[in-house]
Amino acid sequence: MSLTPDEVKAVAHLARLALDDADVPRYATELSSILQLVDELEKAPTDNVSPMAHPLDLSQRLREDQVTETDQRELFQEIAPSTGDGHYLVPPVIE
Partner 1 sequence: MHDKSLRELATGLRNREFSSSELTRHFLDRIGQHDSSLNSFVTLCEAEAMKSAEAADRLLAEGDGHVLTGLPLAHKDIFCTRGVKTACGSKMLDNFIAPYDATVVEKLSAAGMVTLGKTNMDEFAMGSSNETSFYGPVRNPWDTDLVPGGSSGGSAAAVAAGLVPVATGTDTGGSIRQPAALCGVTGIKPTYGRVSRWGMIAFASSLDQAGVFTRSAEDAALVLQAMAGFDERDSTSLDREVPDYAADLSASVEGLKIGLPSEYFSAGLDDTLRDVVDQAIKEFERLGAEVREISLPNSGLAVATYYVVAPAEASSNLSRFDGVRYGYRADNPVDLEDLYKRSRGEGFGREVQRRIMIGTYVLSAGYFDAYYLKAQKVRQLISDDFRKAFESVDLILGPATQGPAFRLGDKLDDPVSMYLNDIYTIPANLAGLPGMSVPAGFVNGLPVGLQLIAPWFAEGRLLSAAHQYQQVTDWHRRVPGDFS
List residues binding partner 1 (CB under 8 A).
Answer: 3, 8, 11-19, 27, 30-31, 33-44, 46, 49-56, 58, 60-61, 63, 72, 75-76, 78-82, 88, 90-93
Residue 8's Cβ-count burial label (10 Å; 0-12, 13-18, 19+) is: buried
- Contact of 83 with 89, CB cutoff 8 Å: yes
Quote the CA–CA distance of 82 and 91 in Å, as a whole number. 10
Work out how close the CB of 49 gets to partner 1 at its nearest, in angstroms, rounded to a whole number. 4
Work out how close the CB of 67 gets to partner 1 at its nearest, in angstroms, rounded to a whole number. 14
Work out how close the CB of 36 gets to partner 1 at its nearest, in angstroms, rounded to a whole number. 8
